[in-house]
Amino acid sequence: MHPRDIIGYLFLALAWGLSFLLLLKVVHAFGWMGAVTFRCFIAGLLLLIAAKLTRRRLDFSAGLWPFVVVGATTVAGQLIGLSYSTPLIGTAMAAIFVATIPLFSMIIGQVWGIERITPIRVAGLLIGTLGIVMLVGFPAVPIDRSFVLGCAGMLFSTFSAAFGSNYASRHLRSSGAWEQTIGAFLSGGLMTLPLVLLVPVPGAPQPIDYVYLVALAGLMSSLTYVVYFGLVARIGPTRAISVEFAVTIVAVLVGGLVLDEPLTAMQLAGAVVIMAGCALVLGLVPGARRRATS
């Protein structure tokens, strides 16, 4: 990977890992459906305004349908599952499921013929998954109805993210990262807007809640997705989405340092294992890069 891709990869890990803190606050203030809808509109409109102010030329000639599909999956589907499930099962368990996205992506990419599954990548993904198990362990909460619904929501979220990333790689190659982000978020917001009537905002948000919402939408949605779709175009969907392994590390550290969730020696060892898995998937291990791309 080029240095700018590595920087983008690390930026996504930090931004998306820290976004769990803002996500919990925004969902509490606006409800899980309102959090998704308002986040989508703000993220898309902020980028659209920025493009107009900088006179950036936007090209949506790929047609409406591809942006709708990516908006329904990578944006709406992923964020609905994440916003619904995280308050039910907690940051640590949500992070477990987030880290399964590369596994879904690898399988979808292989079926569609987008990427080739090599032994090195398979080993990296399996090692990363093992590290996730070591990192977060087993759930410390009762396995009740809320827990099961939360897990189901996260499976929906992770599969949606993987599907949308591969679809964008296949059908939006001629579209830039700005166009993909704007089109996906605005279409995702339009699709979820009617659902706010079914899951209304629970109360009157405080002024600070709007700050959290704008930060989540602007910094951790608009900017991150522009970086992410750029990575998808340059290094492929599976390698780009493997950043979720590193996101899990950041999310668990946030849980331990900010939310007072305990960290054990096994969890720290799991973080090291995850990093090793990421290195194999991304071809950063000396001597493994040539075999990973052959």
- The better pLDDT of the pair 73, 230 is held by 73
- The better pLDDT of the pair 227, 294 is held by 227
Look up residue 275 and give its amino acid.
M
pLDDT of residue 1: 67
Question: For 117-126, 165-174, 191-200, which range has the lowest pLDDT when averaged over its residues?
Answer: 117-126
SS3 285: coil
SS3 100: coil
The stretch 58-81 carries a mean pLDDT of 91
pLDDT higher than 80, residue 159:
yes
Torsion, Cα 284 288 292 294, to 10 degrees, reads 130
Average pLDDT over all residues of the chain: 83
SS3 of 151-216: the string is: HHHHHHHHHHHHHHHHHHHHHCCCCCHHHHHHHHHHHHHHHHHHHHHCCCCCCCCCHHHHHHHHHH
Question: What are 239's two structure tokens?
Answer: 């390698």
Q: 7-41 burial, b if ≥16 CB within 10 A, otherwise e?
A: ebbeebbebbbbbbbbbbbbbbbbbbbbbbbbbbb
pLDDT higher than 60, residue 290:
no
* Torsion sign across C-alpha atoms 261, 132, 166, 285: positive
pLDDT of residue 265: 73
Using CA atoms, how far apart are residues 8 and 1, in angstroms rounded to an integer? 11
The stretch 195-220 carries a mean pLDDT of 92
From the number of C-beta atoms within 10 Å of its C-beta (0-12, 13-18, 19+), residue 291 rates as middle
Using CA atoms, how far apart are residues 189 and 168, in angstroms rounded to an integer? 18
Given a contact cutoff of 8 angstroms between Cβ atoms, the answer to whether 148 and 139 are in contact is: no
pLDDT of residue 292: 47
Confidence of residue 259 (pLDDT cuts 50, 70, 90): confident
- Of the candidates 202, 177, 213, 260, the one whose C-alpha atom is nearest the C-alpha of residue 79 is 213
pLDDT of residue 138: 54
Confidence of residue 140 (pLDDT cuts 50, 70, 90): low
**Gyration radius of the chain's alpha carbons:** 18
∠ CA 228-71-254, nearest 5°, is: 50
Given a contact cutoff of 8 angstroms between Cβ atoms, the answer to whether 241 and 105 are in contact is: yes
- The better pLDDT of the pair 78, 228 is held by 78
- The better pLDDT of the pair 99, 12 is held by 12
Confidence of residue 33 (pLDDT cuts 50, 70, 90): very high
pLDDT higher than 70, residue 164:
yes
Using CA atoms, how far apart are residues 53 and 51, in angstroms rounded to an integer? 6
pLDDT of residue 143: 67
Domain ranges within the chain, ordered by starting residue? 3-116+141-232
Using CA atoms, how far apart are residues 265 and 268, in angstroms rounded to an integer? 5
From the number of C-beta atoms within 10 Å of its C-beta (0-12, 13-18, 19+), residue 131 rates as buried
Given a contact cutoff of 8 angstroms between Cβ atoms, the answer to whether 267 and 136 are in contact is: yes
CB neighbour list of residue 192: distance below 8 Å, 6 or more residues apart: 33, 36, 37, 40, 76, 80
